[in-house]
Amino acid sequence: MITLRGLTKRFGATVAVDVLTVDVAPGRVTGFLGPNGAGKSTTMRMILGLDRPTAGQALVGGRAYRELRRPLREVGALLDARAIHPARSGRAHLRAMARSNGIPAGRVDEVLDIVGLDARAAAKPGRTLSLGMGQRLGIAGALLGDPPVLMFDEPVNGLDPDGVRWVRQLTRTLADEGRTVFVSSHLMSEMQLTADQLVVIGRGRLLADAPVAEVIAGSGVAVRVRGPHPDGLATLAAHLTAAGATVEPAGPDELTVTGTTADRVGDLAHELGVRLHELSAHSASLEQAFMELTADSVEYAGGPTGGGTR
Amino acid sequence: MIDSLRGAVAAEWTKLSSVRSTWWTVLAGLLVMAAGAGQLAIYVANGNTNDDPTDNAGVVTAGRVMIDAVELTQYAVLALGLLAVTAEFTSGTIRTTLQCTPSRGRVLLAKAVVAGAVTFVLGLLLGGVGALVARPVLGEWGSAPAAGTIGDIVAVATYLALVGVLAVGLGAALRSAVLTIIVLLATLMIVPLSLQEPDIAVLNRIADVFPGVAGGHFLAGDTDPYPGAVGLLLLAGWAAAALLLGRAALRRRDA
């Protein structure tokens, strides 16, 4: 169980996380979505006691991270897969972590086995690890203390399709075992497959905290309207807008309408005498829902996607 | 508390011993000590046998020569304490370390314990090597009384351990290896040397408070301007102050 209460972080004049109040419940995979610079990594760092909140609290199992005696047994986290000493082997990295929390050395081999790093890969110095191997090593570190709470920041970054499928299965298994699993990602399609619950933030603010199905349903159904007469379509668009629907031109002879149904668009077109060649309903994907939710909160509009972590 | 400190110490030892740079640093220290002690011993022997009577040092102990060689050797040893902290900031592993041990004070204390213990043992080794090299080179101009030499070796190990801890504390406060080594060079050597240069009494007194000079008085077993034990306490005070500074920085700043 992760509890955020009015969690706020300011860097000078910039508000990275803005009065975030969220409960991340055990037994399910909670996806943590947001555009670049939305405050996902900062939120996770505050949960781990790495960054100090400007205001509010982040609690794990009801306690602040800095108060935990053997934190690896309470919370496992993958933050940055590249954070390994260039000359230290993955095995030594994990062994140091294990020793700090009184975890038996044998557990290191167990987690290496779980994440599929063989003895040769685990003996390689950090600088030679690929991003994918770094991710697996980071996940191994998160699993080390067999904790009831797990956090993964962009875990599928750098993984091949097999690796992506493996992370999906792993997070599912961990949640089914009753653990709290909190996974951030900018890959919405991935979250659609992985998560049960979604926490969406933009500019540090909570935009949605609901089951995945609900977030998708909330964005409603998009109706595609195609017709041969641009003037007719314009008339139809004006009436639809007046009726409270959202209309966007999708081409010279095409409209995308949300906030209404295909039936009502068809009725209206008939009343107005507008000729249509296509009228079809499309259920929104999580991607669309996400775009709508975060439309006003994208910090770097038009910028490249991905990254956003430090 | 003691239990989790033990875990943190074990983790720090694992981290320090699992990177090759640690062992290269040890080797570099040994080479610098052997070369330095040999060279200084040659100077002593030459000074006694050349035509210039003003540089006659007479019979010198191997321990004395070895102590003089520490002045240079200490920078190799400093790197150990320094890198144990600054490498964590460079590679980003400080976040893993603080995830494992959220108490900033405990992390720093564990690093200080490991760096101090390692540099103490290394100091014993360096002192032994220095004396072993210096004694035969000194020839008839040297002596190596057993008790005195062992005392010198232990003193050097103590000095290096405290300077190693000083480096740990400063590294945590400054985060950057380059910045830390500059500040260490300044406080150990440049500033006190500059103060002593004009040979003005009040400036000399100020220089005497600096860690390198205080350590030097301790190593030489001086009685003036203060007893050697006071020099040791001054150096220990600097190391403790650096640790407190480092802890404050770790607590205040985001990782």
The Cα–Cα gap between B86 and B246 comes to 12
In 10 A of CB A252, how many CB atoms? Answer: 7
Q: What is the pLDDT of residues A161-191, one digit of tens each?
A: 999 999 999 999 999 999 999 999 877 777 8
The CA distance from A160 to A136, in Å, is 12
Hey, are the CB atoms on B103 and A66 less than 8 Å from each other?
A: yes
Quick: pLDDT tens for B65-81: 999 999 989 998 898 88
End-to-end CA distance of chain B: 23
pLDDT band of residue A300 (cuts 50, 70, 90) is: low
d(CA B48, CA B60): 10
Q: Measure in Å the smallest separation between the Cα of B232 and chain A Cα atoms.
A: 32
Choose the mutation target among B22, B96, B107 for the interface with A, i.e. most A CBs under 10 Å. Answer: B96
**Contact call for B8 and A83, based on CB within 8 A:** no
Is A303's pLDDT higher than 50?
Answer: no
**Domains parsed from chain A with CATH numbers:** 2-210 (3.40.50.300), 221-283 (3.30.70.790)
* Lowest-pLDDT range of B93-97, B139-143, B163-167: B139-143
DSSP string of A132-158?
Answer: HHHHHHHHHHHHTT--SEEEEESTTTT
**Could you give the CA distance from residue A44 to residue B49 in angstroms, rounded to a whole number?**
71
The reply to whether residue B91 touches residue A72, judged by beta carbons under 8 angstroms, is: no
Beta bridge partners of B21: none
CA distance A190 to A182: 14
Over residues B123-136, the mean pLDDT reads 96
- Which residues 57-96 of chain A have a CB within 8 Å of chain B? 65-72, 75, 77, 79-80, 82-89, 92-93, 95-96
**Distances in Å between the alpha carbon of B152 and those of A161, B60, B129?**
63, 13, 12
The answer to whether residue A160 scores a pLDDT higher than 80 is: yes
Residue A203 banded pLDDT, cuts 50, 70, 90:
confident
Structure tokens belonging to residue A305: 């996607």
Chain A residue with the nearest C-alpha to that of B1? A69
**What torsion do the CA atoms of A289, A295, A300, A302 make, to the nearest 10 degrees?**
80
Vertex B169 angle, CA B113 and B81, to 5° = 60
The pTM of the whole model exceeds 0.95:
no
Nearest chain B residue to A138 by CA distance is B96
Write down the pLDDT at residue A286: 67
All residues at 6 or more sequence positions from B173 whose CB lies less than 8 Å from its CB, including other chains: B242, B245, B246, B248, B249
ipTM of the modeled complex: 0.90
Q: Kindly state the tokens that stand for A221.
A: 């159904």
Residue B48: which residues within 8 A CB-CB, separation 6 or more? B56, B57, B58, B141
pLDDT band at A220 (very low <50, low <70, confident <90, very high): low
Q: Look at residue A183 in the predicted model and tell me its pLDDT.
A: 96
